[in-house]
Amino acid sequence: MQPESIEPFFATLAKANPHPQSELQYSSVFELLAAVLLSAQATDVGVNKATRQLFALAPTPHKMLALGQDRLTELVRTIGLFRTKARNLLATCRILIEQHGGQVPRSRAALEALPGVGRKTANVVLNVAFGEPTMAVDTHVFRISNRTGLAPGRNPLQVEERLLQRVPAHYAVDAHHWLILHGRYVCLARAPRCAACAVRTWCDEGRAWAAKSAAGATAAPTMKPGTKQVNNDGEAG
């Protein structure tokens, strides 16, 4: 993607959705942290179904820890990797209580020191809870960044670093939300909806699709050579 294309690319996404939000349901910074921790290799819809009951019973680290391993495991058993996630969540609650007064820390280092919290999860908390212009690179952001040519990279860290370099400052806080939602509903992994894409004019693969479509031979976009698709929406730490 050419530098001059980046501004209209994000301006178009922003016009369609001026105030993008995470689709995870939460009512506090702690609940956000817990939801993101549980979301690795799981859908937001699936996580929300489990956390409705979980957060009603345990909306704080103290109450979550009081549930105990068996009860917490039962409450999140519909989520992938639920046993590991339950252990990590309880260990995280213990650290929050013992080291941070029961509050979620605002520093990346402190967040990444929590069990089950990796760079992507820390970026989500820093961005959504504290308004920092971080780039949480999940499977959708990774795919869109490579497919469009916006920030190509061979791994999530490379993509994150290039996004931080290329995304204009006035779009930075909301950028990863726009990319996630675009990947979730329009630029799908296996069957991208190029015909319905509002930003294909500035997308490397979108322009290629348009040219082939005009010539009567449509083809779905592919990943850039040498890149690997990230196969989950998060990480376990």
Active site residues: 120, 138
Could you give the CA distance from residue 162 to residue 151 in angstroms, rounded to a whole number? Answer: 5
Burial class of residue 107, CB neighbours in 10 A (0-12, 13-18, 19+): exposed
Per-residue buried b or exposed e for 5-20, using 16+ beta carbons within 10 Å of the residue's own CB: bbeebbeebbeeeeeb
CB 115 within 8 A of CB 93: no
Q: What is the rounded CA–CA span in Å between residue 58 and residue 32?
A: 13
Strands (E), the chain: none
232-to-40, 55, 124, 138, 170 alpha-carbon distances in Å: 7, 24, 15, 7, 28
